[in-house]
Structure 1
Amino acid sequence: MSTGATLGLYGLGTMGSALALNILDKGFGLHVSNRSDQVVDAFRNDAAAAGLADNLSAHHDLETMVPAMPGPRAVILMVPAGAPVDETIDRLRPLLTPGDAIIDAGNADFNDTRRRTEALEAAGLTYIGMGVSGGEEGARHGPSIMVGGTEQAWSGIRSMIESIAARYEGVPCAAHLGPDGAGHFVKTVHNGIEYADMQMIAEIYGLMRHGQGLAPAEIGKTFAVWDSGPLQSYLVGITGKILKAEDAPGVPAVDAILDQAGQKGTGRWTVIEAVKLGQSATTVEAAVAARSWSAEKPLRETGEGLYGQTAGPVDLSEAQLEQALLAGRIIAYAQGFRTLLAASDAYGWSLDPARIAEIWRAGCIIRSALLDDIAKAFRGDLPQGQLVFAPAFKDMLDDSLPALRAVVAQAASGGHPVPALAAALGFLDSMTRARGTTDLVQAQRDFFGRHGFDRVDGGEDRHGPWWR
């Protein structure tokens, strides 16, 4: 694929339309298509209204769009993950010629990306798995972009990608992270961290609302203050705005929303892959579970009636809540990066964790003040590659860990569910104990299954006295 490739984009949903306008806005020519003619026509009108129609060629189907694109071509897919991507690729393959590229810019299971890369490159085509984070606003004005593919593929799209990406202190928040599924895997873990962060924010909100009786607008003011301190981040910032918003005069917007959270799969994928790699991302797992439980509202209503469950008051200061959220966020990031590094070793990707942290500093949903510290930690002397062992983060956790303990303890005593914050505390407590309790687990495994165990005196694959 050459740097002069003709660009096309298929899939003009919310993200696809925003990304297409961003590409046009940066002066690149673009062919677009969608499965619905009406959507294509509406996009053409939107581009014209924004003064961006001069470099636009709109088509009502792929079979018309691709032949109209001079080669070499690069077609960006913005379609739902899974079967829709495979179906679109099947339509594209006979229309493309060797040297052309397909860029999957949606959320995708990295295993699918690896499979598609192998199949398409065998046919002389280039396949790029590209993670894009930032929601509609980011896609339109500058997302964080995580690219997976060959160096040659990256060189062919680099100028366009860096032009449309967010910038942090003038540097594009986009990078080539590795081959095949590397980009999509990094985006998956990004979303997993996002799940954990959102859940912990919600847990802190719940303690303030239901354990301290504070009104949403009052809590929103606190989050706005926190957004100017160590917790500064996109998610904390929007939480403050959400909680201060009203659905009608005197009616908090949050109270008009059903407490059932959706999910599109990336958090679940993070948990599955982390477990496969021996890196249980417990904060993400707790967040995924919390969303799943939220979907069972009738069941929860029955449970409340049966158990008469009522949440009691919590005696926590604003500073304790702030510090507990900071500790939880640090641990969620730490678990995410442990998962990334384990995958890098397993798949030979040579991921650069510092660069990943840097491209997350702007444009993406989990952008936060902590990412500068994370990048510096990975570029410095990081004991055993663990963020929680880095001097800067050890200092933060030394200060914030007592607050996390107090918050989890008070929540448990008062009957407030805080699964993600509790998981964060459990992880740190486990990783800071030289001797844990799995000696008993190993003894049990040997007792019922003769699995054997290693001894503290160096003996390997031994059995207990119950087998003598």
Structure 2
Amino acid sequence: MQVALVGLGVMGKNLALNLIEKGLTLVAYDTNPDAGEELLSCAKTQGTAERLHIVSDLHDMVRRLEAPRSILLLVPAGELVDRVCQDLVDAGVGKDDIIVDCGNSNYKDGIARKLKYQNKFEFATMGISGGAEGARHGPAMMASGSEGGWERIESSFEKVAASYNGESCFARVGQSASGHFVKMVHNGIEYALMQLIAEIYQLLRLGAGKTPQQIAEIFDTWSEGELNSYLLAISSHILKLETTDGKALVDLIDNKVGAKGTGLWTAQNALELGIAVPSLVAAVQARHLTNTGDTHAAKEMTYAAKATERLDIDLDELKDAFHLASLLCYRQGLALIKGASRAHQWKVDLAKTLQTWRAGCIIRADYLDQIAEGVEFIDTLDTQVKALRRITGAAVSTGLAFPVLSATQNYLATLSTPSNGHLVQAQRDYFGEHGIKTHSGEVCHLTDLVEIDAKVR
């Protein structure tokens, strides 16, 4: 199997080493010649340099590939992807060749590119998760696009990807640019889970007065059971790190949180599609709030420091609350994927999507089997539901901030208890004549049901 790869940054270099280690012959290109030399040096060290060909330009790369060609792009999202695609057309790629955008591109760009290049080559997308380590030793790979080009290469990528219980974490999850949408939502879930773990840490640290080492031990205990996950494991490891003079390393880190955009895209697309993912949106906003001091509105968004309160926490109850909140973060993400698939007619396979997340990626967790069981399983978790209510209430009473924990409790409560939407809809009709629907199904206005005093109006 022969593949080309354009872009030898951190992800590109590590994926290239993975590809040739798994037996593929690779033609690689980067505008920076030093990147190619570094890759070649690494390949020699691992004894696979005979399967690697570094080229100095795209024309040479296209000439070296046997048709039909398979070319992977690992370049920064945006205009550069289009520039490389056009350069490849100029270099001689044809209609039977497949070019796969493996970067963190916006899925809307992928839809546009599929139409733009449909008579020049086959454009496909693939989201890759796992960071540099995953790319090197086995990432989660969420591919999409038509079957023509993928049929030639998917068996190879099944070997390159991570595996879980003998099954590959590579899958073509759906049509068009759904691979990038699934990866975007994966990142949105990642935002929520990271923030949720940080909130549990905050509750234990400032609410219950525990040390970072003690919290790490609690996380380790949870990880011994069904809550084992990559993010919980690295959080425990971080909390154990200390300086040479015994200070917790986490206390030396600035409180501002960065972001690269996929979490924001998740929130924006959920709002556009009308699908509620409050835990994911709250996580994005939580990051924004850590950076308010850098905004023009800083003075309007900065308040005097407030005292907080301590409380006693039942660790078993906290564990149950965290368990349910984690499940609900995933379920919100899957609901968004399902809604987008329906709207765009992508035919996304949620079972395949979950399979790609089982290993290699940032949101891998042992409880993904429970996620797969769906709402029916969550409806059986009565103990966890009560724990989430009590823990959320107690947490908020400390005066500390718990955006994702609160949003997750509100999400579940809104969907499982009586709603207040009838009053809001009545308000809308009162001032805007938007209409109301009665329990009998009749669509009318408030004035059709009762005479409203004009003075109130």
**Alignment partner of 2:379 out of 378, 387, 394:** 394
Residues 249/350 of structure 1: CA separation in 2 closer, same or farther (3 Å cut): same
Query: Corresponding residue for 1:83?
Result: 79
How far apart are residue 174 of structure 1 and its match? 1.2
Gaps of at least 5 residues in structure 1 are 378-386
Distance 2:248 2:342 in 1: 48
CA contact 1:315–1:410 (8 Å) conserved in 2: no
CA contact 1:194–1:365 (8 Å) conserved in 2: yes
CA contact 2:203–2:395 (8 Å) conserved in 1: yes
**Alignment partner of 2:53 out of 38, 41, 57:** 57
Is 1:122 matched up with 2:119?
yes
Which residue type is aligned with residue 396 of structure 2?
A
Is 1:448 matched up with 2:431?
yes
Residues 153/410 of structure 1: CA separation in 2 closer, same or farther (3 Å cut): same
Query: Corresponding residue for 1:373?
Result: 370
Is 1:421 matched up with 2:399?
no
Query: Corresponding residue for 2:445?
Result: 462
Query: Corresponding residue for 2:334?
Result: 337
Is 1:8 matched up with 2:25?
no
**More moved, 198-207 vs 268-277:** 268-277
Distance 1:461 1:11 in 2: 59
SS of structure 2 residue aligned to 1:121? coil
Which residue type is aligned with residue 460 of structure 1?
V
How far apart are residue 51 of structure 1 and its match? 1.5
Distance 2:197 2:294 in 1: 24
Aligned residues: 449
Residues 208-261 of structure 1 deviation map (CA, whole Å, 9 limit, x = unaligned):
111122221221111111111121111111111111112433022212221111
Residues 80-159 of structure 1 mapped to structure 2, 5 A cutoff: 80-95=76-91, 96-123=93-120, 125-159=121-155
Residues 281-317 of structure 1 deviation map (CA, whole Å, 9 limit, x = unaligned):
1000000001111123468997998523233213212
Query: Corresponding residue for 1:307?
Result: 304
CA contact 1:220–1:241 (8 Å) conserved in 2: yes
Query: Corresponding residue for 1:179?
Result: 175
Distance 2:313 2:194 in 1: 21
Distance 1:400 1:49 in 2: 51
Distance 2:303 2:175 in 1: 53
How far apart are residue 59 of structure 1 and its match? 2.0
Which residue type is aligned with residue 111 of structure 2?
R
How far apart are residue 457 of structure 1 and its match? 2.7
How far apart are residue 179 of structure 1 and its match? 1.3
Is 1:409 matched up with 2:393?
yes
Distance 1:217 1:167 in 2: 32
CA contact 1:455–1:462 (8 Å) conserved in 2: no
CA contact 1:358–1:372 (8 Å) conserved in 2: no
**Alignment partner of 2:359 out of 342, 357, 362:** 362
How far apart are residue 87 of structure 1 and its match? 1.9
TM (norm. structure 1) is: 0.91
Q: Percent identity?
A: 38
**Alignment partner of 2:245 out of 236, 240, 249:** 249
CA contact 2:331–2:371 (8 Å) conserved in 1: no
SS of structure 2 residue aligned to 1:122? coil
Distance 1:460 1:306 in 2: 46
Residues 162-213 of structure 1 deviation map (CA, whole Å, 9 limit, x = unaligned):
0101111111111111111111111111111111111100000111111122
Output the aligned Cα RMSD.
Answer: 2.0
Gaps of at least 5 residues in structure 2 are none
CA contact 1:447–1:466 (8 Å) conserved in 2: no
Residues 309/24 of structure 1: CA separation in 2 closer, same or farther (3 Å cut): same
